[in-house]
Amino acid sequence: MERKKWYAFGTREVVYSALGAALYGVLSFATNMLALPAAGNVALRPAVCIPMFFGVAFGPWVGFISGFLGNVIGDALSGWGFWFWWDLGNGLMGLIPGFAASMITDYRATRSFVIADLFAILGVVVGMGLASLSEMWVSGVDLSTAIVGYFVPAALTNIINGIILVPILMVAYAAIVGRTGR
């Protein structure tokens, strides 16, 4: 299969970025509204797997736009306003797994799952790390508050959701990837 350059942004990327963002926004809103069960104070936010998966499947720009714009859409649907640094953090959660896209050829292989999960974890750490640390200059919290109050709760749940759901989506995607002929 012909491999595109990682920074390419053609028609396919335009459509999948939009799709990823809309899916992330709708699923975030819908799963919030369903009042899903949670363990302790760790809330389920399964939709975070969408930008990670779109990054892994379609590259970093698609992952970034899915995360960034998806968070904006989710907030627009819920009426939460606009939180630039958290939108950017969500974008990075999709961008970084996108760098794994060129290393993955078989979406069913265990090696691919490991690579995708490792990049997803890195994406969460960088993305939520940036968003949490931004509170130091936006809200004036100190480092320990940024870590305890923002980073740990956000990163922990996103990592758990990502490492479970991204491989499941990869297996499902493997079944249709051959049909597209691209």
Minimum CB distance to another protein smaller for 81 or for 110:
81
Closest CA to 98 of 74, 122, 78: 122
State the nearest-atom distance from the C-beta of 74 to another protein, in Å: 10
Residue 109 parent element (H or E): none
Q: Does 44 bind another protein (CB under 8 A)?
A: yes
Minimum CB distance to another protein smaller for 122 or for 145:
145
Q: Does 107 bind another protein (CB under 8 A)?
A: no
CA end-to-end span of the chain: 8
Q: Is the separation of the CB atoms in 120 and 138 below 8 Å?
A: no
Three-class SS state of 110: helix
Which range, of 91-99, 101-109, 111-119, 170-178, touches another protein by CB under 8 A?
170-178
State the nearest-atom distance from the C-beta of 122 to another protein, in Å: 20
CA distance 120 to 98: 9
Restricted to residues 2-31, the positions that interact with another protein (CB under 8 A) are 9-19, 21-23, 25-27, 29-31
Cβ-based neighbours of 89, under 8 Å, separated by 6 or more:
127, 128, 129, 130, 131, 132, 134
# binding residues, another protein (CB under 8 A): 73
Choose which of 1, 5, 41, 137 interacts with another protein (CB under 8 A). 137
CA torsion through residues 77, 83, 86, 88, sign = positive
For the chain, give the longest Cα–Cα distance: 51
Q: Does 153 bind another protein (CB under 8 A)?
A: no
Q: Does 126 bind another protein (CB under 8 A)?
A: no
Minimum CB distance to another protein smaller for 49 or for 96:
49
Contact mark string toward another protein, 66..105, x via CB under 8 A: ---xx--x-xxxxxxxxxx---------------------
